[in-house]
Amino acid sequence: MLTAPRINGRFTQLLLLAAVLLILSILFYANADAIHIPESVSLKAPVKSRPHHPIDDLIEEADRQQEDLLQKESHTLADAVRAYEDRRGRRPPPGFDVWYHFAQDNNALVIEDFFDRVYHDLNPFWAIPAHTIRQQAGDIFHRISVRNGNTSQLSDQQRPWLDLWENMIGSISQHLPDLDMPINVMDESRVVVPWETIDEYMTAEEKTRHIVPASEVVRKFGKTSVSKDEKVPAFDPQWEGGPYWDRAVIGCHPNSPARSYKAEVDYSVFPPLNNSYPEKSHEGYVANWTYVKQPCEHPQLQGLHGTFVEPISISNSKKLMPLFGGSKLPMNNEILLPPAMYWTTDPFYSGGDDHGHEWHKKTNKIIWRGAASGGRNKDTTWARFQRHRFVSMMNSTSIARAEENGKQPNFELPEPGQYDLPSGSLAKWVGESADAAFVHLLCFPDTRPPFCDYDDAFYEVKPSMPMGEQYNYKYLPDIDGNSFSGRYRGFLGSTSLPIKATIYDEWHDSRMMPWKHFVPMDNTFVDIYGIMHYFFNGRDAAAKRIALEGKKWTETVLRREDMQVYVFRLLLEYARVCDDEREKLGWVSEMEGILLADSHG
Ligand SMILES: *[C@@H]1O[C@H](CO)[C@@H](O)[C@H](O)[C@H]1NC(C)=O
Ligand SMILES: *[C@@H]1O[C@H](CO)[C@@H](O)[C@H](O)[C@H]1NC(C)=O
Ligand SMILES: *[C@@H]1O[C@H](CO)[C@@H](O)[C@H](O)[C@H]1NC(C)=O
Ligand SMILES: *[C@@H]1O[C@H](CO)[C@@H](O)[C@H](O)[C@H]1NC(C)=O
């Protein structure tokens, strides 16, 4: 389970307290002759300079959770082994000591929770025979291989992402056994195994979990990849196309809302949006980031996200196979690597080394520039795409029209009074506070690029703006494109404040804390005006603090070295599930080894 804010307990307490106060006050009024505000209640409360805001609670809770997390740091190899065994229920894999020293030499913060994603992704493979995994891995096209500590790739053409990943793996391959790693070269994620099957696999994995007695441990990797002369039986993943939603929801829990949701087919009607506060939110704001990102829990995303409306390409398998990629939906079964875009030094994705002006010199606005991607948008469907929705919601003309005559084609405004928004015109202050525009409308068919017959009336095409220049603005919203947004790591390290909405999982999810290192946003964006109003009205210091703490944390746990440490750990574990002796393979400390040698005389 990935980390998510645990605030329900506290809320329950607050709710109880509120209920008790309510009952007491009802009793009080019932006994009073006349209804008046009793002085003892109304006047003694300390007068705060600023009313309490729900986002204050969320920030406080995130601070607390971050402190708890930091307490878990391992400072020695023995600490790391203990943390590993407690959390994973096995011995660490062979090479764990080399891994730990690599992390130490690279000043990496070692907290076992940071690697939860590795186990989430790999555990189901314990239910598949090791030789089957090796054979699949040696048979799927597009792959990176490690042999004798060197890497190589198999591809049909020059592919920049593949080159970057090979470079990433090459930087640690001297420490790895032989491996084959099939790589997803598409933008979209591609494996969804039925939830029931994965559940069975996870149960099977749990049964293999135990601490093998030192005397029985196999300490060296054996066969972890197919040999050249070995005949690989052709593995057929049975890639299938077709609408993605139906393929994706088989990965959801049988009782989840998505499993029984009837997919929309007519996207020309108004999208499934309303202005009630999102479920399980804290007065409208994101309280559980894992929940917010989960389409299984939010079936209306079927009609609100390009991934489900119409992705550019669909080629999906229901079979569990080792396929590595940079991002995936929560219901996908790929094995996550840090995205190649995060490994590149190309300023187009990384934003370069320039972090923009100092906070107080940055323009006090939201800036967003990007293409109208997210999938293949058409005249009957564009109003369902996330980037279109966001750009419209930042457009003062569109907001003014919505304020005058109700609905716009692709968004709905909060009611006055919701989100503590000021009464009067949203259009005016959002217009003054936001600058969001497309650089290319990417319509289909794309006859007049970058313009678009059906969207020209709604969107102005503006020149693109390098990321380094965007960093001269305080607020950086980040919205999914065809899959995850490759700018995110750059944004996190920029000194400006990222405001993030996504349905995609990434390698770093268990190390980035919402409201501590970035501002989380609902995928409907219904909370964006509240978020803006909070930070633009007297909470500039809070925005600056999250921006700078996010940057500092990014420079602590999202460095290239941290990606190496992650991939090193991931591939030791991957090698173990590929090895026939996997149930006995493990690392034994020198001390245990000596004791063992002694006991054998
Ligand atoms: C690894 O590659 C290097 C350079 O390509 C080569 O010199 C070396 O012999 C290779 N090592 C092995 C063990 O194949
Ligand atoms: C508003 O939409 C949410 C999903 O986003 C849904 O759960 C809720 O029932 C809707 N509320 C109303 C009043 O339609
Ligand atoms: C957060 O949401 C996830 C996914 O729905 C759920 O498993 C988890 O229990 C939730 N956490 C809390 C504290 O409610
Ligand atoms: C804002 O909306 C208006 C009307 O829909 C449109 O004409 C204008 O081009 C939009 N501006 C941007 C930056 O997209």
Tens digit of pLDDT for each residue in 244-276? 999 999 999 999 999 999 899 999 999 999 989
* Distance from the alpha carbon of residue 279 to the mean position of ligand 2, in angstroms: 8
Q: Which residues contact 469 (CB under 8 A, 6 or more apart)?
A: 356
Q: Diameter of the chain by CA atoms?
A: 95
Helix axes 560-577, 96-105, angle to 10 degrees: 180
Percent of the chain with pLDDT over 90: 81
Q: Calculate the CA 548 to chain-centre distance.
A: 20
Rounded-to-integer distance, Cα 221 and Cα 295, Å? 39
Q: Please give the average per-residue pLDDT across 352-361, as a whole number.
A: 86
* Distance from the alpha carbon of residue 58 to the mean position of ligand 4, in angstroms: 34
Q: 402 pLDDT band (50/70/90 cuts)?
A: very high
Q: Which two tokens stand for residue 432?
A: 């003054």
| Beta bridge partner(s), residue 179 | 146
Q: Please give the average per-residue pLDDT across 54-71, as a whole number.
A: 98
Element of type H or E holding 245: helix 244-248
pLDDT confidence of residue 600: 64
197-219 pLDDT tens trace:
999 999 999 999 999 999 999 99
Q: What is the atom index within ligand 4 of the atom nearest the CA of 438?
A: 14
Q: Is the pLDDT of residue 84 over 60?
A: yes
Q: Is the pLDDT of residue 453 over 60?
A: yes
3-state secondary structure of 574: helix
Q: Which two tokens stand for residue 175?
A: 């420490």
Ligand 1 pocket, Cβ-based, cut-off 6 angstroms: 148-150
158-170 pLDDT tens trace:
999 999 999 999 9
Length of the chain: 601
The sign of the dihedral angle between the CA atoms of 273, 274, 279, 282 is positive
Q: 19 pLDDT band (50/70/90 cuts)?
A: low
87-113 pLDDT tens trace:
999 999 999 999 999 999 999 999 999
pLDDT confidence of residue 193: 98
pLDDT confidence of residue 232: 73
Rounded-to-integer distance, Cα 514 and Cα 2, Å? 13
pLDDT confidence of residue 397: 96
Preceding omega of 445 cis (within 30 degrees of 0): yes
Asked if 296 contacts 252 with a C-beta cutoff of 8 angstroms, the reply is yes
Helix axes 560-577, 160-170, angle to 10 degrees: 80
* Distance from the alpha carbon of residue 5 to the mean position of ligand 3, in angstroms: 8
Q: 478 pLDDT band (50/70/90 cuts)?
A: very high
In which region does residue 72 sit, left (phi positive, over 0), alpha (psi from -120 to 50) or beta (all else)? alpha
Domain ranges of the chain: 77-228+560-600, 341-558
Reference 117, options 379, 270, 370, 334; nearest CA is 334
Q: Which residues contact 238 (CB under 8 A, 6 or more apart)?
A: 317, 318, 319
* Distance from the alpha carbon of residue 245 to the mean position of ligand 2, in angstroms: 20
Going by alpha carbons, the residue nearest to atom 6 of ligand 1 is 150
Q: Is the pLDDT of residue 20 over 50?
A: no
Q: Calculate the CA 545 to chain-centre distance.
A: 22
pLDDT confidence of residue 39: 36
Rounded CA Rg of the chain: 26
Q: Please give the average per-residue pLDDT across 33-55, as a whole number.
A: 51
pLDDT confidence of residue 519: 98
Q: 307 pLDDT band (50/70/90 cuts)?
A: very high
Q: Please give the average per-residue pLDDT across 223-243, as a whole number.
A: 86
Element of type H or E holding 407: none
Which residue's structure tokens are 């993943």?
Answer: 237
Q: Please give the average per-residue pLDDT across 431-446, as a whole number.
A: 97
Rounded-to-integer distance, Cα 222 and Cα 216, Å? 15
* Distance from the alpha carbon of residue 477 to the mean position of ligand 3, in angstroms: 24
Q: Please give the average per-residue pLDDT across 588-595, as a whole number.
A: 81
Going by alpha carbons, the residue nearest to atom 2 of ligand 2 is 274
| Beta bridge partner(s), residue 435 | 367
3-state secondary structure of 240: strand
pLDDT confidence of residue 425: 84
Q: Calculate the CA 8 to chain-centre distance.
A: 21
Which residue's structure tokens are 């006859």?
Answer: 447
Q: What is the CATH number of domain 341-558?
A: 3.40.50
Instruction: Indicate if ligand 2 lies below 6 Å from the C-beta of 279.
Output: yes
Q: Is the pLDDT of residue 7 over 50?
A: no
* Distance from the alpha carbon of residue 274 to the mean position of ligand 2, in angstroms: 6
Q: Which two tokens stand for residue 41?
A: 């209640």
Q: Is the pLDDT of residue 29 over 50?
A: no
* Distance from the alpha carbon of residue 473 to the mean position of ligand 4, in angstroms: 21
Model-wide pTM > 0.85? yes
Q: Which residues contact 548 (CB under 8 A, 6 or more apart)?
A: 359, 495
Asked if 556 contacts 187 with a C-beta cutoff of 8 angstroms, the reply is no
Rounded-to-integer distance, Cα 303 and Cα 381, Å? 9
Instruction: Indicate if ligand 3 lies below 6 Å from the C-beta of 6.
Output: yes
Q: Please give the average per-residue pLDDT across 559-580, as a whole number.
A: 98
Instruction: Indicate if ligand 2 lies below 6 Å from the C-beta of 238.
Output: no
Q: 590 pLDDT band (50/70/90 cuts)?
A: confident
Asked if 366 contacts 435 with a C-beta cutoff of 8 angstroms, the reply is yes
Q: Pick 519 or 425 by higher pLDDT.
A: 519
Backbone angles phi, psi at 278, to 5 degrees: -60, 145
Q: What is the atom index within ligand 2 of the atom nearest the CA of 278?
A: 5
Instruction: Indicate if ligand 4 lies below 6 Å from the C-beta of 459.
Output: yes
The sign of the dihedral angle between the CA atoms of 489, 490, 496, 502 is negative
Rounded-to-integer distance, Cα 222 and Cα 220, Å? 6
Rounded-to-integer distance, Cα 112 and Cα 320, Å? 26
Q: Which two tokens stand for residue 24?
A: 């007491």
Q: Is the pLDDT of residue 25 over 80?
A: no
Q: Is the pLDDT of residue 571 over 90?
A: yes
pLDDT confidence of residue 51: 79
